[in-house]
Amino acid sequence: MKHVFAILTLICSLLVSVSVKADIVNGKELHDSNCTSCHVNMQGGDGSGIYTRENRRIDSYQGLVKQVNRCRDSLGVPWPADHVNDVVQYLNTNYYKYTK
C-alpha cells in the first residue's frame, strides 16, 4: 500500500509540473497580438526596443511578472494566469534572461 501511495504521489507531482510549464509559443502569439502595437507606438521599429533599452523599468523576474500583469490590466485583456505566465516566459527567454 505504501508503494501505491508513493507512485500516486509521484504521478501527481509530475502532472502538476507539466501543467504549470509555460508555453513560450503561445506567449509569443499572445504578445504579438496584444502587446506589439502599443510598443511600436511607444518605441518605433518592431516595438522590441522597449525590452532592450538602457533605461528599462524591469530589473527582476518578479518585476517582469508585475509589468505583464500591469499591461494586461491596463489593456483589459482577459488573460488567465497561465497566459500571463506564457507571455512572461516568452519575454524572459528572448529578452530578459532572469532566474526565478
Position 100 scores a pLDDT of 86
DSSP string, 33-77: HHTHHHHHHHH-TTSTHHHH-TT-S--SHHHHHHHHHHHHHHHT-
Which residues lie below 8 Å from residue 98, measured CB to CB, with a gap of 6+?
A: 60, 61, 64, 92
Dump pLDDT digits (tens) for 4-47.
555 545 554 444 434 458 999 999 999 999 999 999 999 999 99
Round to whole Å and give the CA distance between 22 and 83: 8
Mean of pLDDT over the chain: 87
